Amino acid sequence: MTEPHCDPHPNPTGIKRVAVLTSGGDAPGMNAAIRAVVRTATSQGIEVIGVRRGFSGLHRGDFITLGPRDVANTLQRGGTILLSARSHTWRTPEGRARGARHLRAHDVDALIVIGGDGSFHGAHFLQEEHGIPVIGLPGTIDNDLYGTDHTIGYFTAVETALDAVDKLRDTGASHERIFVIEVMGRHAGHIALDVAVAGGAEEVFIPEDAKEVAGVLDIVRASVKKGKMGSIIIVAEGYPGGATGVAQAIQDGTGMETRVSILGHIQRGGSPVSSDRILASRLGEAAVYALMEGKSDVMVGRQNHETSFTPLADTWEKRKDVSRDLYRCAKTLSI
């Protein structure tokens, strides 16, 4: 049973039932987004169907009914209660057609997809081919989606990586070693840049600026001459060669001892920080209202502290750059 809200939002589309799924890599805050979708929809007299295991589950019709109590005590949990998976079948017209039939069989009027650009591709083609309204929520630690200042999970991933960097700095200073630390971000350097500034790194390598490692060797030597007990080098996983390549080049070029630490999937886990919980909650609420107002085939984001709506295709066709001011700041403060 749904629980109507005393202050109903305009619903000219007459939507009565929506589905929600999480797809691709999990991100801290996805559960907060699911919770916001369920409770906002319920407050407006709209039923919610949860799709388990992303598009793979949609293809198989793996559905559950979600009410306010089903999402209780999930705000602080990492991962996704709906589970996630990658689906090769969904990339085919036949796979999407089967998913559309499952949605219609359950009288679903619209679909909310929480994920990254791959997930948005799947949502976009579902609407394009079968006319089912879709809304995307930016759920990825990479922060690489055009149309939103930050993505759900990004803040937590930065904090997780920063905590590891602080610990590695301690042991690096004790042994007077250079630590080359690789953070996630896929093809983007947002996490690496934030961690480099917040962690006081001597250098940062990001895909957006594929500079040669050779140009950093003098910086490393100068750090030693200045009396620094150890150095921290941050490398985004999308930088050519990754941390292993950078570390080898530094060791070969300077003869100094280096250690590599690849943080990996630890950055996807853990309880979401407050910023991710708040962002996910606001976006989840806005997604339901957007569908009620007739919006579709868009991603709900936050830009300049305001809710924004970006065509799904723009989120992967347009490039989101790192902050060049912050990149300059990282270089200035590394002396």
Q: Where are the beta strands (DSSP E) in 17-82?
A: 17-22, 47-51, 63-66
Listed by start position, the domains of the chain span 15-151+271-315, 153-267
Spot the catalytic one: 142, 194, 276, 297: 142
Annotated binding residues for ADP, written as ranges, equal: 35-39, 169, 200-202, 226, 228-230
Q: How far apart are the two ends of the chain, measured CA to CA in Å?
A: 62
pLDDT tens, 172-227?
A: 888 778 999 999 999 999 999 999 999 999 899 999 998 888 878 887 777 777 76
Q: Has 142 been annotated as catalytic?
A: yes
Phi, psi of 65 (to 5 degrees): -85, 135
CATH class held by domain 15-151+271-315? alpha beta
* Dist. CA 281–CA 279, nearest whole Å: 5
Helices 30-43, 274-292: axis angle to 10 degrees equals 40
Superfamily (CATH) of domain 153-267:
Phosphofructokinase domain (3.40.50.460)
How is the beta sheet containing 258-262 ordered, strand by strand? 203-205, 231-236, 178-183, 258-262
Region of residue 170 (phi > 0: left; psi between -120 and 50: alpha; otherwise: beta): alpha
Q: pLDDT digit of tens for each residue in the chain (335 aa)?
A: 445 545 799 999 999 999 999 999 999 999 999 999 999 999 999 999 999 999 999 999 999 999 999 999 999 999 999 999 888 899 999 999 999 999 999 999 999 999 999 999 999 999 999 999 999 999 999 999 999 999 999 999 999 999 999 999 888 888 778 999 999 999 999 999 999 999 999 899 999 998 888 878 887 777 777 766 678 999 999 999 999 999 999 988 888 889 999 999 999 999 999 999 999 999 999 999 999 999 999 999 999 999 999 999 999 999 999 999 999 999 898 87
Annotated binding residues for Mg(2+), written as ranges, equal: 117
Identical fold, 15-151+271-315 and 153-267: yes
- Classify residue 27 as exposed, middle or buried by CB count within 10 Å of its CB (0-12, 13-18, 19+): buried
Percent of the chain residues topping a pLDDT of 70 = 97
Annotated binding residues for substrate, written as ranges, equal: 140-142, 177, 184-186, 237, 259, 265-268
* Dist. CA 257–CA 224, nearest whole Å: 12
Percent of the chain residues topping a pLDDT of 90 = 83
Would you list the DSSP string of 205-271? EBTTB---GGGGHHHHHHHHHTT-S-EEEEEETTSTTHHHHHHHHHHHHH---EEEEE-GGGGG-SP
Neighbouring C-alpha atoms within 13 Å toward the C-beta of 306 = 4
